[in-house]
Amino acid sequence: MTRTVLESKSKTVVIGFDEPFCVIGERINPTGRKKLAAELEAGEFGTVEKDALEQVACGAMVLDINAGVVYNSNPNPNETEPPLMTRMVELVQGLVDVPLCIDSSVPGALKAGLETAQGRPLLNSVTGEEERLELVLPLVKKYNVPVVAISNDDTGISEDPDVRFAVAKKIVERAADFGIPAHDIVVDPLVMPVGAMATAGQQVFALVRKLREELGVNTTCGASNISFGLPNRHGINAAFLPMAIGAGMTSAIMNPVRKVEMEAINAANFLMNHDPNGGSWIRFAKVLEAVEGGQSFPEAAAAHASSGRAGGRRGGRARRAG
C-alpha cells in the first residue's frame, strides 16, 4: 500500500490508499490575492496567521505555503521570495503543528522553505519540463522529501489524458533515476473545468485509477478547477470530491474553510471505511449543528477541534535523513 509520509515538528500525516483523504490548505498564497500580497511586502502577517489557524481548525491536515509576491520595491523574486518563504514557514510552524507544503516556482524559495521547515514537508512542485526536473529532483533527493508532480511538460498541458499519464510516468521514472521512490511522488493529473470540457470529470476519475493501479502513486489536484466558470460552484465541488475519492484520489490542494466541501470529504471518508465507527463524522455533524445555530464554520470548527480530527494523528516523529 502506497504511503507518502509527511511530518511537522511532532505530527505525522500519511497520504495513502488506506488513509482519510488528505486536505492540503491552499489559502496561504498571494497569487490572485492583492491585499495579501501588499501585506506581505509590507511585512504584515496578520492574514497569514488567521489563514493558518482557520484552515487547521476547519480540517486542513497540511498547509501549503507560497511566498510568490512580486515586490513593487524589487521586481526580482529570486532575491525577495527566499527570505519571505523563510519568514512565513517560521511563522506558520510556530502557530500550528501540521506538516507544510513548500510551494514555489523560484528555486531559492524552495530551498529556503526546505531548510526552514521542521519535519518532512511536501515539495510543490515538479513538472515534466526538463529544466524543472533537473532543478527540483536533486532537491527532493537531497532533503529526502516527497514532491507533487504536475502532469504537464515542455509542450504545455495536454487535453489528452493519455499524454498526461505519460508525463506522470516520465516523472516517476526520472525520479527513480535519482533514487526517489514512487511513494514519494504525489501526482496531480490536472483537473480541467467541466464547463469547458465535458469529459473533464471522467478524465480525472479514469486517470486517478490508472495512476494508482499502474504507477502505484498517490494523487492530488486543485479541486476547485473542476467548477471554474459555473454557477453554484460549491455544489459541483462537493460532488466531484467524493467521486474523485471513490476513484482513488488521496489528497487535494483546496480551501478547507468551506463547509460544503469539507462535509463532502468527511462523508466520503466514512463511506470509504476510513473513519472507523464514524467518530469523525459525528464530530463534524456537531460542527454543522453549531453553524446552523449561527456560528461561522471556522468558529464552530475551532470549538470542536480540541476533540480531535480525522487524520490528525499524533505520533513520534522519525528524524528525517539528509
Residues in contact with a second copy by the rule CB under 8 A: 194-195, 198-202, 205, 226, 230-232, 235-236, 238-240, 242-243, 245-247, 263-264, 266-268, 270-273, 276-278, 281-282, 284-286, 288-289
Distance CA 203, CA 102 (A): 28
Task: For the CB of residue 205, give the shortest distance to a second copy in the complex, in Å.
Answer: 6
Task: For the CB of residue 53, give the shortest distance to a second copy in the complex, in Å.
Answer: 25
Which residue lies nearer to a second copy by CB, 47 or 225?
A: 225
Which residue lies nearer to a second copy by CB, 92 or 268?
A: 268
Distance CA 211, CA 217 (A): 6
Quickly list H helices, 147-278. Answer: 161-177, 200-210, 233-247, 259-271
Task: For the CB of residue 195, give the shortest distance to a second copy in the complex, in Å.
Answer: 6
Torsion on CA atoms 2, 7, 12, 18, rounded to nearest 10: -20
Q: Residue 314, SS3?
A: strand
Task: For the CB of residue 148, give the shortest distance to a second copy in the complex, in Å.
Answer: 23
Nearest to 297 by CA among 2, 60, 37, 31: 60
Which residue lies nearer to a second copy by CB, 131 or 213?
A: 213
Task: For the CB of residue 120, give the shortest distance to a second copy in the complex, in Å.
Answer: 30
Q: Residue 174, SS3?
A: helix
From start to end of 27-154, where are the E strands? 62-66, 100-103, 122-127, 147-150
Task: For the CB of residue 18, give the shortest distance to a second copy in the complex, in Å.
Answer: 12
Query: Hey, what amino acid is at 126?
Result: V
Which residue lies nearer to a second copy by CB, 32 or 229?
A: 229
Which residue lies nearer to a second copy by CB, 70 or 198?
A: 198
Alpha carbon of 255 to those of 112, 195, 221: distances in Å?
25, 20, 12
Which residue lies nearer to a second copy by CB, 293 or 322?
A: 293
Which residue lies nearer to a second copy by CB, 2 or 203?
A: 203
Task: For the CB of residue 278, give the shortest distance to a second copy in the complex, in Å.
Answer: 6
- CA geometry: angle at 15 spanning 171 and 161, to 5°? 40
